[in-house]
């Protein structure tokens, strides 16, 4: 059996042909072509034909000689606006749910929507608005007020209501004229997050509506196969790897692309002694995505977002700092550009370090000491990754960079700006997805999860 996997990224479209014989999965061919952002189908079929070494791959697909699975994160991926009640509880649960479904958070809102919030949504409508808030039997007034505000708005996007079930019928009546889907509450009570129904609804909307207009609908029509969001498939692969090998039960994966940097972690999140968790429990596998941290499309935004660190790096060389920003501007205009000089290679490594450092810090939890009536305790927010001993680098640049010193950047500082300890690993083994196969194996995992997980581990370079 032959399986062809294609991943359409913001900058590059990747394709691989695998042969399955029993419990073995062999890489037969692997190609990389620029993504045709004006019409994704053009680059897709060019990659497909090239990896299969044929003029037209469609007859092979129709005959069943080759199985096709593909994914896409092009054109910025799936944009979701998250809306919850309390920032550290329902809103955080909404973010985690959207990220696990392969989306990036374009906007987020807590408590009641005001006029400015509505205008922001109308001016930059997301693909999906994930409307949450209130545990079952809990607060109702905020959810109803937000439903009315949305009903009176000109917002034209899909809305998923996944909040307090006690007002589900009223929300349905208020927003009945909108594109509304109602699912189970993502947080029925504080101790039992339930993201699965909302996660599936996000994926269903992606498949049924959002693929249209990006050229993906043409691919569906020609192949009969539907895409999945790349981050969704990688998230499922991370779970499969954690399940298949006890040595890989806990690990981090940093997937750095041209537009975003995604961080995944599989971690049990056990609390250390004298530590109290602030907020809701986190899932064993978690994904975050940073839309302002990318190696090409978002390069200039990276420089602006990390200005303080850039100033430190070039403290004694202001002329090189200006050259660095000039290089970033060039990358935005030429996203397929590869560095040529030693200085450009240094700039690329710096850009990668900034993406890794800031994305990892945002993904990890923090801890600070607080004084209580029973003495001092550590208050933890988010996940504790200090026990993780394996980190994987993936994505075009990280896959190629054999000399990149990730240990310098993953935990570039001990404390954040508020004096809280950043809970990232200090000692770990670094593995590189040197062939860039993980997103492609993630597609194969939709057919053969255990086989794809084992092959993923085997293909890593220590």
Most distant CA atoms of the chain, gap in Å: 74
* 191 and 334 share one domain: no
* 220 and 254 share one domain: no
* 44 and 158 share one domain: no
Domain count, the chain: 3
Token pair of 144 as six digits: 């109803």
In a domain, 233, yes or no: no
Q: Rounded to 5 degrees, what are φ and ψ at 96? A: -60, -40
* 305 and 447 share one domain: yes
Chain centroid, CA 399 distance in Å: 17
CATH label of the domain that carries residue 171: 3.40.50.360
Q: Rounded to 5 degrees, what are φ and ψ at 213? A: 90, -10
In a domain, 462, yes or no: no
* 225, 260, 293 - which closes a domain: 225
* 52 and 122 share one domain: no
In a domain, 235, yes or no: no
- Tally of CB atoms within 10 A around 221: 9
In a domain, 231, yes or no: no
CATH label of the domain that carries residue 20: 3.30.420.40
* 250 and 265 share one domain: yes
* 288 and 377 share one domain: yes
* 105 and 195 share one domain: yes
Sign of CA dihedral 360, 361, 363, 368: positive
Is the model's pTM score more than 0.75?
yes
How confident is the prediction along the chain (462 residues), in pLDDT tens digits per residue? 899 999 988 778 999 999 998 888 999 999 998 888 788 899 999 999 999 999 988 888 888 889 999 998 876 668 899 999 988 888 888 888 988 887 888 899 999 999 999 999 999 999 999 999 999 999 999 999 999 999 999 999 999 999 999 999 999 999 999 999 999 999 999 888 899 999 999 988 887 776 776 788 889 889 988 888 889 999 999 999 999 999 999 999 999 988 889 999 999 988 888 888 888 888 999 999 888 898 988 899 999 989 989 999 999 898 999 999 999 999 999 888 889 999 999 999 999 999 999 999 999 999 998 877 767 888 899 999 999 999 999 988 999 999 999 999 999 999 998 999 999 999 999 999 999 999 999 999 999 999 999 999 999 999
**Minimal CA–CA distance to 35: which of 44, 25, 23?**
44
The C-alpha angle 110, 119, 121, rounded to 5 degrees, equals 60
In a domain, 94, yes or no: yes
In a domain, 330, yes or no: yes
Please report, in angstroms and rounded to a whole number, the separation of the first and last CA atoms in the chain.
30
* 62 and 114 share one domain: no
* 271 and 331 share one domain: yes
In a domain, 230, yes or no: no
* 176, 197, 225 - which closes a domain: 225
Cα–Cα dist 390/249, whole Å: 10
Sign of CA dihedral 276, 282, 283, 288: negative
* 66 and 145 share one domain: no
Range list of H helices, 22-76: 40-52, 58-63
* 251 and 324 share one domain: yes
Query: The domain containing residue 52 runs over which residues?
Result: 1-73+213-225
């Amino acid at each position: 059996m032959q399986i062809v996997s294609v991943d359409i990224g913001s900058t590059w479209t990747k394709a691989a042909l695998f042969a399955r014989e029993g419990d073995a999965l062999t890489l037969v061919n692997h190609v990389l072509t620029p993504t045709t952002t004006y019409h994704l189908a053009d680059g897709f079929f060019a990659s497909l034909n090239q990896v299969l070494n044929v003029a037209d791959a469609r007859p092979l697909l129709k005959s069943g000689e080759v199985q096709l699975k593909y994914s896409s994160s092009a054109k910025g991926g799936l944009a979701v606006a998250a809306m919850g009640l309390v920032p550290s509880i329902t809103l955080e649960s909404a973010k985690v749910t959207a990220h696990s479904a392969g989306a990036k958070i374009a906007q987020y809102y807590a408590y009641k929507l005001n006029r400015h919030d509505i205008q922001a949504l109308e001016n930059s409508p997301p693909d999906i608005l994930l409307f949450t808030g209130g545990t079952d039997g809990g607060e109702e007034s905020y959810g109803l007020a937000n439903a009315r505000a949305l009903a009176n708005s000109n917002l034209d996007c899909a809305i998923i209501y996944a909040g307090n079930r006690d007002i589900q019928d009223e929300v349905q009546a208020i927003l009945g004229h909108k594109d509304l889907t109602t699912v189970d509450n993502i947080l029925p009570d504080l101790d039992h997050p339930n993201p699965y129904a909302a996660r599936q609804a996000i994926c269903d909307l992606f498949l049924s509506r959002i693929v249209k207009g990006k050229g993906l609908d043409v691919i569906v029509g020609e192949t009969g196969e539907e895409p999945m969001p790349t981050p969704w498939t990688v998230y499922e692969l991370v779970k499969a790897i954690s399940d298949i090998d006890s040595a890989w039960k806990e690990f981090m994966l940093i997937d750095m692309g041209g537009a975003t940097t995604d961080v995944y972690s599989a971690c049990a999140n056990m609390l250390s002694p004298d530590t109290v968790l602030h907020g809701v429990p986190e899932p064993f596998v978690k994904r975050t995505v940073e839309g302002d941290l990318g190696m090409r499309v978002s390069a200039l935004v990276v420089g602006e977002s990390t200005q303080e660190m850039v100033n430190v790096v070039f403290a004694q060389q202001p002329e090189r700092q200006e050259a660095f920003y000039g290089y970033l501007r060039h990358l935005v205009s030429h996203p397929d550009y590869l560095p040529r000089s030693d200085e450009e290679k240094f700039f690329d490594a710096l850009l990668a370090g900034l993406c890794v450092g800031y994305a990892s810090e945002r993904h990890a939890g923090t801890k600070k000491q607080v004084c209580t009536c029973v003495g001092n305790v550590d208050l933890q927010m988010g996940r504790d990754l200090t026990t993780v001993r394996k980190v994987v680098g993936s994505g075009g640049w990280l896959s190629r960079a054999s000399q990149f010193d990730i240990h310098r950047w993953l935990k570039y500082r001990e404390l954040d700006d508020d004096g809280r300890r950043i809970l990232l690993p200090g000692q770990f083994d670094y593995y590189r997805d040197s062939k860039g196969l993980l997103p492609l194996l993630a597609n194969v995992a939709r057919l053969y999860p255990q086989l794809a997980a084992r092959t993923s581990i085997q293909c890593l370079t220590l």
